[in-house]
Every structure is written in C-alpha cells, then in structure tokens.
Amino acid sequence: MKKYNFSAGPSTLPEEVLQQAAEAVLNLNNSGTSLIEISHRSKDFIAIMDEARSLVKKLMKLDDNHEVLYLQGGASLQFSMIPYNLLKNKAAYIDSGNFASSAIKEAKKIGSIEVLASSKDDKYTYIPKNFEIPKDVDYLHLTSNNTVYGTELKEFPETDVPLVCDMSSDILSRDIDFNKFGLIYAGAQKNIGPAGVTLVIVNKNLLGKTDRNLPSYLDYQIHIEKESMANTPPVFAVYATLLNLRWLDKQGGVSEIEKKNREKAALLYGEIDRNPLFRGVCVEEDRSLMNACFFLNDEATYKAKFDELVKQANIIGINGYRTVGGYRASIYNAMPLEGVQTLVNVMKELEKIA
C-alpha cells in the first residue's frame, strides 16, 4: 500500500502519474524504447515538451506575452537568474521566510537590493504587510508560500512595478490571475512533478533591458528562442510533470483543485485548533493551504506516542523543518482528502488515550 506522504518536497504525486511514469521508463508510447534513452530531438520528446508548455498556458490561462520555460538548477538558480536578467538599477524584496532570504542573499551579489519588509523578527510566523513599494525599482520579489514556516500570501500587491514571485510550493494550487506577474518560478518537486526541473513563466516584454553579457544558460531569451531545448532537458522530470499536469486538467483544473485544497486545509487546521493537545505555529490569517505547521503542546509526554500512531497509520513525512521543530503536514494537490482525514483521526486518537 502506498503510504500517505506529507513531505514538503520532493513530495507526493498521484499514484496514476507514478504508474504511467514508470511504464514510460520501460517503454514509451509502445515504441520499444525507454523515455530516458530516446533523443530529446525525437518527435516523441518534442511532442512531450510542447504539450508540457501548452498545458501550463492552459491551466494558468496565460496570455501570449507570457512564455513557459522548463529549466534546470532548481528554484535556487532562479534566485540568481532573475536579477541577472531583470535587475538594472534596483530591486525590491520581501523577506517572508528562509527561501525569500536566500533569494535576497543571491540578488545582493548582483545588484542593489532594497528589503521592504521582513517577518524575521517573529520567526517568520506571519506575512509582512503594509509596505510602500518604491516606484523606481525594476521589480518586486515575493514568495507566495513559505514552505518551511507554513505561511501564504493571500493577496498580491496592486502595483505597476513588475511582480516576480517564487511559487515553488503553491503553484497551481489556487486560482489567481497569473498574467499580472512579470515572472513566476517554481521548482517542480513540491506541487507539480519530480525534482530536476524548474518551471519559469516570464513576460517577454521585461527582457533584454540590461546590458549584461550573460552566460547563455542564464539568459531567458535564449531559452525562449530554443523552446526550453537549449541543451539536453531533464526528459524524465519534464515527462512526469506533463503526466501530473494532465492529471490536474482531468480534475477540472486549478479552480477545482483549489476547492479540494481548501477543504483539506479546513479539516486539518480545524483539528489543530480544536484538539487541546495541539497548537498551530503561524498567525491564523496567513496560514498556508499547502504546508500546515503545528506543535504538540506537551512534547515530553506525547511525542513518542503520537509518532507511533502516525507510523501505524502509514503516514510519513510530517516532521517539521529542522529549525522550526514540531510537525509540518504538506497537503499539496496530490494529497487526497482521505490522507488528511487519516492524520486528523490519529490526532483524535491521541486525545482519546491521553
């Protein structure tokens, strides 16, 4: 039996996606060859890449200014690629968590950065709000979901400044107007596929404005021109992502999955708030739909017992991030309601025997 995998990333994928990916590794489309040994210039793979790009456009309702790229180097390489491509004079950043702070650290190596707000003072347990956006910055960098701390941006600023957003852990989980972003990026391994590929969506009108002579791999314009095939793409990761995008499309797309995600989150946070043995980590209004962080009020008494019950219920991956402690249940698109219900039942069971 497949365990309920609540890991933050790499994270759970639908069983049918894993099944199809496994089959393709042995025999792609009944061709008698493996997905991972065919040429990326073959007809089969070009069709895969084309569909993987167009399905993102469809699911996110992107306009023609927005280009979809599949790149390598993880979300982490985007921390540098973004300023290399977009930063001319100055960029603004919001420090809402550890990944936001890594993005700031990398950008500072490249240009002038202004950090408009930070929630570090309270261990990143809330989303910084009410900051003034300078008119003269090249872009504002945001992190829509803070994977480690479990906070999520519910509303995005209305501004003429191009918005750049790290959506690694909540992309395609809720319906937002993706066209209002200048650039969106996401490491696939949280909510859209396996590790090894990074989705980048960029408004092409923002490109070509700096005078930097970039290394080719770091230049978005080259990847656009080469349709994400400037070099050998990670064929397995792109294909598994495509399978997962098809799965999402079949579920009814982003607005349908959002309903399910809201239902799952309400069930789990409801129990965290109701059950006297537990408490949430973050400010209520900023709680993430994707990563629910919580503590046992009395770890010394209950941790061993709770961990045992969790294990018996076939649940894995709920330990909190090492610097936060406690528990973190990541309830991405592919986690079924039944998995969340199983976890909630375990929390109730602990209360009963306490």
Ligand X SMILES: *Cc1c(COP(=O)(O)O)cnc(C)c1O
189: annotated binding-site residue?
yes
Closest to ligand X by CB, 124 or 306: 124
Answer yes or no: are the C-beta atoms of 198 and 192 closer than 8 Å.
Answer: no
Residue 168 interacting with ligand X (CB under 6 A) = yes
Q: 171 CB contacts (<8 Å, ≥6 apart)?
A: 144, 184, 186, 190, 191, 192, 199
- From 32-40, 164-172, 306-314, 340-348, give the range in contact with ligand X by CB under 6 A: 164-172
Closest to ligand X by CB, 220 or 278: 220
Residue 169 interacting with ligand X (CB under 6 A) = yes
Identify the sign of the CA torsion 75, 81, 82, 83: positive
- From 52-60, 114-122, 166-174, 262-270, give the range in contact with ligand X by CB under 6 A: 166-174
Minimum CB–partner distance for residue 75 and ligand X (Å)? 3
Among 14, 74, 83, 182, binds ligand X (CB under 6 A): 74
As a whole number of angstroms, the distance between CA 4 and CA 88 comes to: 46
- The DSSP bridge pattern shows strands 198-203 and 66-71 to be antiparallel
Give me the amino acid identity at 150: G
- Per-residue HEC secondary structure of 177-233 comes to CHHHCCEEEEECCCCCCCCCCEEEEEEHHHCCCCCCCCCHHHCHHHHHHCCCCCCCC
125: annotated binding-site residue?
no
Answer yes or no: are the C-beta atoms of 324 and 149 closer than 8 Å.
Answer: yes
Closest to ligand X by CB, 38 or 290: 290
Closest to ligand X by CB, 193 or 346: 193
301: annotated binding-site residue?
no
Binders of ligand X among residues 110 to 149 (CB under 6 A) are 143, 147
Residue 166 interacting with ligand X (CB under 6 A) = yes
As a whole number of angstroms, the distance between CA 74 and CA 199 comes to: 9
Answer yes or no: are the C-beta atoms of 67 and 225 closer than 8 Å.
Answer: no
Among 182, 187, 196, 320, binds ligand X (CB under 6 A): 187
262: annotated binding-site residue?
no
Query: Does residue 71 sit in helix, strand or coil?
Result: strand
Judged by the rule CB under 6 A, the positions of this chain that interact with ligand X are 9, 74-76, 99, 143, 147, 166, 168-169, 187, 190
Known binding-site positions for pyridoxal 5'-phosphate:
75-76, 99, 147, 166, 189, 231-232
Known binding-site positions for L-glutamate:
41
